Structure formats: structure tokens, C-alpha cells
Amino acid sequence: MSVLVVADNSKGKFKKGALEAVHYGHLVAQLLGSECHAMVIGEADQPAQLGKYGAAKVHHLSDASYNHFDGQRYLAAITEVAQQIGATVVILNHSSAGKSLLGGLGVKLKAGVVSGANSLPDITDGFSVTKNVFAGKALATIKVNSPIKVLSLMGNSIPPQEVGEEAAVEALSVADPGSSITVKEQKTVDGVVPLPEAELVVSAGRGMKGPENWGLVDELADTLSATTACSRPVADTGWRPHHEHVGQTGVAIRPNLYIAIGISGAIQHLAGVNQSKTIVVINKDPEAPFFKAADYGVCADLFDVVPKLTESLKKFKAS
Ligand SMILES: Cc1cc2nc3c(=O)[nH]c(=O)nc-3n(C[C@H](O)[C@H](O)[C@H](O)COP(=O)(O)OP(=O)(O)OC[C@H]3O[C@@H](n4cnc5c(N)ncnc54)[C@H](O)[C@@H]3O)c2cc1C
């Protein structure tokens, strides 16, 4: 009986979400009186470091042909390892890769699945975890009755903490079902914290009037070392790239700080951002629905406020 955590890595580096998932797996294993194992797929720097976040052992499938995500091959590999170690709980990140593996793993392992879990399980009566539902307006408690459970962990739910030493790493080889796809090219955005992992996000909407004004947003984000995001129409009209679009049909985020500039706060936008710990809204319309979800609101023209805010933050940092 053990807990298996699949630790996402990008170009060999572990994402913050991977450390969160491993630490979460460690806490779940403690609750269940079992051991947390981590699985790393593809080439990765220092997989042993996952031991610091609570993995008792790391299983590393280091074959370079696994560097690119391939749902079929990943699914087969994770299933094999989960069965080999007798995992009763399998934990993935709630990333695009994790979400695409979740259902298949549920089928292969005959497991109950919870997508986007955000709490430690309550095991006083079975195994129950919570997740956000109805676009974040309610919290559902889901009891998983099957012997094996598969969860994806929502980012920023459990802060990763160092609890131990480096773990033993065991090289892994698995039966390869072969691939029906060929990755010809992979384009990634380098140098910025990806939105699902970002703790600070500066986001803007149609109130910006056009892409030529985005320097204001970028400068504020650079000053705060924040990641930039946008509303859907902004991405649809090509003002910003689609990977920045947050909301119901975009990326769902839970940063510590979300600054919304010139965004009305439509329900579909709020669905992806209303789990942010602190929301600051800058909008010139006092009736903008976003103010109802805001912790702090500035009712003013963004072209006046944003440069002043950036300037003040620069002075604050300099002092
Ligand atoms: C099925 C479906 C799914 C959707 N999914 C998403 C989604 O995932 N994410 C998403 O964002 N949207 C989504 N939408 C669209 C959503 O309904 C809204 O249309 C969209 O969020 C509005 O974008 P916006 O706030 O940037 O633009 P607007 O609604 O045009 O709002 C612009 C805001 O800027 C303010 N403003 C204008 N000028 C200034 C100024 N000078 N200073 C300060 N404030 C100013 C205005 O007061 C206004 O509140 C979806 C819609 C549907 C139907």
C-alpha cells in the first residue's frame, strides 16, 4: 500500500506544482500510514531532491524518448508503476498533462477520480476530498469509495515544504506500447512563471483599448515580477497570445495576488480567477461586476492609475 505522485517536469526542471504534489502525497501517505513514492518521466535534473518534499523513493523513467508528453505512453507507464508498487492513491498535478491522464488512469486502475482536489483527504469515514464546483462558487466534498483513488491536485492548494533528505532513485524501465504520434516541434514560453504556478498575476482586458497599450501592463508585471494574463476577448482578437487567457474556457489560476485592469468581471472570467487569495480591480465603471469579487478596488481610469502604481512600486522597491 503506497501513494504514488507523478512529478511533472519541464525540460528536466521540476515545476512548483510537482513539489506541491509530492509534499501533498507525503501528507496523504502519513494520514494513511503508508509511504509516498514519486515517479519522474523523462530526463530530469536531480530527481533525488523530491525526497526533501517527502518522497521516500523516486522511480525515474529517464529514457529520453519520454521527454515529450505522450498520453498513451505516459498512461501505460504510470499504470505499470502504480500496479507494481500497489499504489492505493495516485496523485497528478492539475496541469494540462495531469488532466488529460486522469480519466484514463481511472479506467486502467478501476479507480475513483477527483479532478482538481484542493484539500487533504478526510479519512475519518472513508476517503473524502474537497474541490471547487460551479465556477468556484461552491466547494464539493467528494467521497471516493473505490480501493484505488486517482486525484489531480489544484495548484497553490498546499505549499511545498521541505521535510527530509534526498531520496533513493530507482531507474525504471516499462513496457512501451509505442506511440501513435510524432512530436515534430515544441514551442514553449521561456523565462516566465507559467500562469497555473504564478503567485502574482497582472491581467488586463478590453479596457486597454488595444495591444499598443500593453506596455503599461508589462511594466507593472515586470516591477512586481508577476506573470501576465488577459481576458478572453483580448486573446480572441489577437492582442495577446492565447496561453494568457484566464477564465472558464482558459487557464484557471489561484495566485496570491490577481490585479485585474480594465476587465469587467464577467462570470466566465471570474470562474478562472476567483480562487485568487487577493484580488485588486482597476476599472472606471463603478458598476463593473468585478468590484463585487474584489478585495481592493480602484474606480478610476487605468491610463492614469497604472503608471502611478508602477512608479510607486518602483520607488518602494528602491527604498
Ligand atoms: C461560453 C463562454 C465562455 C467564456 N469564457 C471566458 C473566459 O474563459 N475568460 C474570459 O475572460 N471571458 C470569457 N468569456 C467572455 C466573457 O463573457 C466576457 O465577454 C469577457 O470576459 C469580457 O472581457 P473584458 O472584461 O476584457 O471586456 P469588457 O466586457 O468589454 O470590459 C472592459 C472593462 O474595461 C473597463 N474600462 C474601459 N476603459 C477603461 C479605462 N480607461 N480605465 C479603466 N477601466 C476601463 C470597462 O468599464 C469594462 O468594465 C466567455 C463567454 C462565453 C459566452
pLDDT value at residue 111: 98
Q: How far apart are CA 54 and CA 52, in angstroms?
A: 6
- Which one of 209, 263, 276 would you pick to mutate in the ligand 1 pocket, going by the greatest count of ligand atoms within 8 A of its CB? 263
pLDDT in tens, 21-73: 999 999 999 999 999 999 999 999 999 999 999 999 999 999 999 998 999 99
Distance of CA 131 to the CA centre of its chain: 14
- pLDDT of the residue at 132: 87
Q: What is the pLDDT of residue 184?
A: 85
Ligand 1 pocket check for 233: Cβ under 6 Å:
yes
Could you tell me how far CA 268 lies from the centroid of its own chain?
19
Express each pLDDT in 240-254 by its tens digit.
999 999 999 999 898
What totals of helices (H) and strands (E) does the chain contain, helices first? 8, 16
How far is the centre of ligand 1, averaged over its atoms, from the C-alpha of 196 (Å)? 20
Angstrom distance (rounded) from CA 290 to CA 284: 11
CB of 240 within 6 A of ligand 1: the answer is: no
Residues 6+ apart with CB under 8 A from 166: 46, 48, 49, 51, 52
**pLDDT score of 15:** 85
The pLDDT of residue 136? 73
Q: What is the pLDDT of residue 72?
A: 94
3 state DSSP class of 221? helix
Give the pLDDT score at 140: 96
CA-CA distance, 305 to 60, in Å (whole number)?
50
* pLDDT of amino acid 96: 85
Ligand 1 contact via 37 beta carbon (within 6 Å): no
| pLDDT at residue 137, as a whole number | 77
- Which residue among 240, 268, 282 is best mutated to probe the pocket of ligand 1, counting the most ligand atoms within 8 A of its Cβ? 268
Please name which of 155, 2, 15, 17 lies closest in space to residue 89, comparing C-alpha atoms: 2
| pLDDT given at position 124 | 96
Cross-strand bridge partners of residue 141? 130
The three-class DSSP label of residue 25 is helix
Q: Is 231 in the pocket of ligand 1 (CB under 6 A)?
A: yes
| Mean per-residue pLDDT, 232-244 | 96
Residue whose C-alpha cell reads 482558459 in the numeric block: 250
Quickly state the pLDDT bin for 107 (edges 50, 70, 90): very high
Give the pLDDT score at 192: 78
- pLDDT, one tens digit per residue, over 152-206 is 999 888 889 999 999 999 999 999 999 888 888 877 777 678 888 899 999 999 9
Mean pLDDT, the chain, whole residue set: 94
Query: How high is the pLDDT of residue 194?
Result: 85
CA 311, 314, 319 angle in degrees (round to 5)? 125
* Domains of the chain by start residue, with CATH: 2-171 (3.40.50.620), 195-318 (3.40.50.1220)
Closest CA to 53 of 75, 69, 30: 30
Closest CA to ligand 1's atom 37: 207
β-pairing verdict for 278-283 and 227-230: unpaired
Predicted pLDDT of residue 188 = 74
Spatial distance between the Cα atoms of 113 and 111, rounded to a whole number of angstroms: 6
Locate the DSSP E strands across the chain.
Answer: 2-6, 9-10, 13-14, 35-41, 57-61, 87-93, 112-117, 128-133, 138-143, 149-153, 168-171, 200-204, 227-230, 257-261, 278-283, 296-299
Spell out the residues 6+ positions from residue 190 whose beta carbon is closer than 8 angstroms to its own.
none
Q: What is the pLDDT of residue 185?
A: 83
Residues 257-287 have pLDDT tens digits of 999 999 999 999 999 999 899 999 999 999 9
Contact 265, 286 (CB under 8 A): no
The predicted pLDDT at position 200 comes to: 96
Rounded Cα distance between 232 and 245, Å, is: 5
- pLDDT at res. 98: 94
What mean pLDDT is predicted for residues 303-308?
A: 98
Distance CA 251, CA 318 (A): 33
Q: Is the CB of 266 under 6 A from ligand 1?
A: yes
Decide if pLDDT at 220 tops 80.
yes
